[in-house]
Structure 1
Amino acid sequence: MPMDERKLDVLRAIVEDYVATQEPVGSKALVERHNLRVSSATVRNDMAVLEEEGYIRQPHTSAGRVPTDKGYRLFVDKLSRIKPMSPAEKRAIQRFLDGSVDLDDVVHRSVRLLAQLTRQVAVVQYPSLTRSAVRHLELIAVSTTRIMLVMITDTGRVEQRLCELPGPTDDESIMALRRQINEKLVGKKLVDTPTLVQALVEEVRFDLRPAMISLSTVLLETLVERGEERLALAGTVNLTRSALDFPGSLMPILEAIEEEVVLLKLIGESDSSSMVRVLIGDENEFVDLRSTSVVSTGYGPGTTAVGGLGVLGPTRMDYPGTMATVRAVARYVGEILAQNSQN
Structure 2
Amino acid sequence: MLTPRKIEIFKAIVDEFVATAEPVGSKTLLEKYHLDYSSATIRSEMSELEELGYLEKTHTSSGRVPSKMGYRFYVEHLLEDKKYESMQVALKQVFTERKYNTQEVLKMSCDILSEMTQLTTVVLGPLSAQQTLLQIQLIPLSDKSAMAVFETSEGHSESRMFNFKESVSTHDLQTCTKLLNDRLVGSSLSDLIEKLMLMKPILADKIEHYEMLFEAFFNAFIRFASENIYLSGQNNLMNHPEFADVNKLKQVMKLLENSSLWRSIGSSQGSLSLNKDEGSEFVWLEDMAVVSSTLPIENDSSSKLMVIGPSRMKYDHIVGMIKTLTKAIEDIYRKDDDHEET
TM-score when scaled to structure 2?
A: 0.69
CA gap of 1:255–1:97, structure 2 versus 1, over 3 A, is farther
CA distance in 1, matches of 2:329, 2:268: 14
Counterpart position of 2:247: 252
Aligned pairs for 1:106-145 (under 5 A) are 106=105, 109-124=108-123, 129=128, 132-143=131-142
Tell me what 2:272 maps to.
Answer: none
Shift in Å, 1:318: 0.9
Task: Give the paired residue count.
Answer: 326
Query: Do the aligned partners of 1:28 and 1:40 also contact (CA within 8 Å) in 2?
Result: no
**Counterpart in 2 of 1:279?**
283
Whole-Å separation in 2 of the counterparts to 1:217 and 1:235: 34
Cα distance, 1:56 vs structure 2: 1.0
Report what 1:162 is aligned to.
Answer: 162
Cα-to-partner distance string for 1:193-220 (whole Å, 9 max, x where unaligned): 345446656778x973656776455444
1:316 is paired with a residue whose SS is coil
- Whole-Å Cα distance in 2 between the matches of residues 260 and 142 of structure 1? 40
For the Cα contact (< 8 Å) 1:190–1:224, is it kept in 2? no
Partner residue, 1:287: none
**What displacement does 1:141 show?**
2.2
Q: Encode CA deviations 1:257-305: one digit per residue, 9 max, x unaligned.
A: 443764535544424898434233xxx2xxxxx3332323454623535
Change (3 A) 1:299 1:165: farther
Confirm or deny: 8 A CA contact 1:278 1:295 kept in the other structure. Answer: yes
**Structure 2: how far apart are the matches of 1:235 and 1:215?**
37
> 1:158: Cα distance to partner?
0.7
Residue of structure 1 equivalent to 2:274: none
Aligned counterparts, 1:134-283, within 5 A: 134-143=133-142, 147-153=146-152, 154-160=154-160, 162=162, 169-171=169-171, 174-175=173-174, 177-194=176-193, 196-197=195-196, 208=206, 215-224=213-222, 231-234=230-233, 236-237=235-236, 239-240=238-239, 243=241, 245=242, 249-259=244-254, 262=257, 264-265=259-260, 267-269=262-264, 270-271=266-267, 275-280=279-284
- Aligned counterpart, 1:315: 311
What is the Cα deviation at residue 51 of structure 1? 0.9
2:44 pairs with 1:48: no
What are structure 1's unaligned runs of at least 5 residues?
Answer: 285-289
Compared with structure 1, are the counterparts of its residues 115 and 207 closer, same or farther at alpha carbon in structure 2 (3 Å cutoff)?
A: closer
Structure 2 CA distance for partners of 1:98 and 1:35, relative to 1, 3 Å:
farther
How far apart, CA to CA, are the structure 2 residues paired with 1:116 and 1:143? 41
Q: Which amino acid aligns with 2:280?
A: V
- Contact map agreement 2:26 2:42 (CA 8 A) in 1: no
Q: What's the RMSD between the two structures over aligned residues?
A: 4.7
State the distance in 2 between where 1:337 and 1:213 align: 43
DSSP-derived class of the 2:53 partner: coil
Residues 203 and 322 (structure 1 numbering): CA distance in 2 closer, same or farther, change over 3 Å?
same
1:144 Cα deviation from its structure 2 partner: 5.0
Moved more, 333-342 or 104-113: 333-342
Relative distance call for 1:185 and 1:25 in structure 2 (3 A) is farther
Aligned to 2:322: 326
Quick one: which amino acid aligns to residue 322 of structure 1? I
Structure 2 letter corresponding to 1:151: F
The answer as to whether partners of 1:149 and 1:163 remain within 8 angstroms in 2 is no
SS at match of 2:156: coil
Question: Secondary structure at 2:10's aligned position in 1?
Answer: helix
Q: Equivalent residue for 2:11?
A: 12
Task: For residue 193 of structure 1, give the secondary structure of its aligned residue in structure 2.
Answer: helix
Secondary structure of the 2:312 match is coil
Post-superposition Cα deviations, 1:71-93, rounded to whole Å, max 9, x if no partner, equal 112222x2244634332221223
Determine if the alignment matches structure 1 residue 88 to structure 2 residue 83.
Answer: no
Q: Which stretch of structure 1 is more off in the superposition, 332-341 or 160-169?
A: 332-341
Partners of 1:291 and 1:272 in 2: CA distance: 20
Say if 1:139 and 1:174, in contact at 8 Å, map to a contact too.
yes
Counting only pairs closer than 5 Å after superposition, residues 25-64 of structure 1 correspond to structure 2 as 25-26=25-26, 29=29, 33=33, 44-59=43-58, 64=63
TM-score (norm 1): 0.69
> How many angstroms apart in 2 are the aligned matches of 1:156 and 1:86?
30
Q: Which amino acid aligns with 1:276?
A: S
Q: Quote the residue 1:301 is aligned against.
A: 297
Q: Closer, same or farther in 2 for the Cα pair 1:9/1:64, shift >3 Å?
A: same
